Amino acid sequence: RGLGGLDVKRPLGAVVTTDGNDLAVHGFVPVKSLDKLLDSLQSVTGPVERSGNSRSLTLPSGIALDIVEENGWAIVSPQGMDVEAVDPTPLFAPLSENYTIGIQAFPHLLPEPLRLQLRMLVEQGAAAAGEQGQQLDARTIGKAIDSLADTESLAIGVAIDNEKDRVFIENRTVAVPGSPAALAMQGADQGQLTVAMPPMADGKRPAVSAHLVQRVPEAARREVLSMLEQALPRTQQNPDRLTETLSLLLRDVISSVLATGGIDAAVCIDTTAGAKKTALPDVTAGIRVKDGAAVEKNVKTSLSSEVSLPTGVRVTFDAAKVGTANLHTISIDLSGTDAATRLGKNLELTLAITPEYAFLLAGGDPRQRLAALLGPQGQTDPDAKPIAAVEVAVDRVLAYAAEQEMRGVLDVATGDADAGDATEAGAGDQKGSLLKILVRPIERGVATRISADGGVVRAVAAGAGAAAGAGPAVPPGLPLPNGFQIPAPAR
């Protein structure tokens, strides 16, 4: 805005190309009149020399540029670099159609000498950082650079969707056809979520929900188990009995999960007032296993001895039965710890195992929730798709956090553990309060997107402004009133 000669209806950008071992950078600016645009910028760029359809200038920083106008584009390049009349429209289209700001790279086109040079520079940088006490794994970084040869394209973009009042950041990685990464993604869209979750106490969306659904081919399963075997501590290397017990148990559980053909898991957190029978929110997590009875047997074998358990942890097997699930309780003594002020002196977890699933529950009434999810009320998320998703209702989380702060203040002052339940009664209905993380398979690759509704963005901006003294902040320990709208700066 305010720049004469600029065509604001088209995108501007830059293109980096290689010719052998040489890199070339060209900027493309959409113009209606190049001379008008340069006149508007003269106070910043300095004087401009004109010669035919070419313009030359030297920035105050000393960088000399040549500018050529071709077919409505001002092509900007370092002085002395050859300029070709290339139409950038087809290059920019995939980015400009989806993102407000975006960058797309084609790593497999990077010449081998430049790739080796890049690796050498990174290794030198890692070594220099190590000398200054900053440990970087040069080998891992080197492997990542080597993998560029198998990466066809890499796109990163930010989009502002005014119509939906939403902002998102997205990353898309596509592998070269026939590469190991491309083969690994085959069938990645075939997974299906089967783990049911209980309904929320108020019938609305949970404060936090997540799922992971991914098909794992047999060859990949063997590789995962082999890597796990190498990563877990061995008895002769680590004589700690607890570490050994947990390592063996983890290996058995993961083996049973992968034996189903993939990963099928879900978790939800309910912070509603009706669920607040403990200091914890209601947390429910579940995962599909191949043989629940075998997993249960391994759990009992591993945790039956007090030597296998840390101090203050007690396990009660077969504490109850709900439907097809056997319930085992894990009690953790928090006395004398900072957590005891919030969670009480004893934290109780419930491990429930059915023939096909294993669940871990905390807070509220685990038996009631388990009965609900195993019965007709239990439902899987109909919108769940491979590979993974996390959804956070920010208004509910903020309301719950404020309530817990208030509860802590009143507990100290009056000993009233039931205060503040009304804080979240109106939460969960606020529009524009969702934060989402999605991981989806695409052809020969994967896409990751983080999106935030406008209400979340404005809440963060308001909080940052309040922290900087630009506006009022909610005093620490005070809950938001019922129905209180998150403060937002003027648009």
Tens digit of each residue's pLDDT (9 = 90 or more) over 264-278: 999 999 988 554 555
Which of 320, 343, 316 has its CA nearest to residue 329?
316
The residue type of 485 is Q
What is residue 421's predicted lDDT score, i.e. its pLDDT?
A: 47
In 233-366, beta strands by DSSP E: 262-270, 282-288, 313-322, 325-333, 346-353, 357-362
Q: Are 181 and 150 in contact (CB under 8 A)?
A: yes
More confident position, 190 or 470: 190
Taking residues 134-138, report their average pLDDT.
68
pLDDT above 90: percentage of residues in the chain: 14
Distance CA 453, CA 455 (A): 5
Question: Buried b vs exposed e over 234-261: b needs ≥16 C-beta within 10 Å?
Answer: eeeeeeeeeebbbbbbebbbbbbbbebb
pLDDT beyond 60 at 448: yes
Is the predicted pLDDT of residue 214 greater than 70, yes or no?
A: yes
Q: What is the pTM of this model?
A: 0.76
44 versus 376: which is more confidently predicted? 376
| Residue pLDDT, tens place only, 162-200 | 888 888 999 999 999 988 888 878 878 888 899 999 988
Q: pLDDT tier at 407 (50, 70, 90 boundaries)?
A: low
Residue 416 reports pLDDT greater than 60: no
When pLDDT is averaged across residues 322-350 and rounded to a whole number, the result is 83
Percent of the chain with pLDDT over 70: 81
pLDDT of residue 334: 80
Domain ranges of the chain: 13-87, 200-207+219-383
**Average pLDDT for residues 128-143, to the nearest whole number?**
72
Average pLDDT over residues 208-214: 92
Q: What does the alpha-carbon distance between residue 159 and residue 168 come to, in Å, rounded to a whole number?
A: 5
Per the DSSP assignment, residues forming a β-bridge with 350 are 329, 361
Task: Give the Cα separation of 463 and 35 in Å (integer).
Answer: 44
What kind of fold does domain 200-207+219-383 have according to CATH?
Protein Transport Mog1p; Chain A (3.40.1000)
Q: Which of 21-35, 134-148, 207-221 has the lowest mean pLDDT?
A: 134-148
Q: Which of 218, 224, 226 is nearest to 261 (CA)?
A: 218
Decide: residue 127, CB within 10 A, 0-12 exposed, 13-18 middle, 19+ buried: exposed
**Mean of the per-residue pLDDT values for the chain?**
79
Range list of H helices, 317-389: 340-343, 366-374
Is there a contact between 427 and 281 (Cβ–Cβ < 8 Å)?
no
What pLDDT is attached to residue 438? 93
223-237, 377-391, 431-445: which has the minimum mean pLDDT?
223-237
pLDDT at 410 over 70: no
How high is the pLDDT of residue 285?
Answer: 92
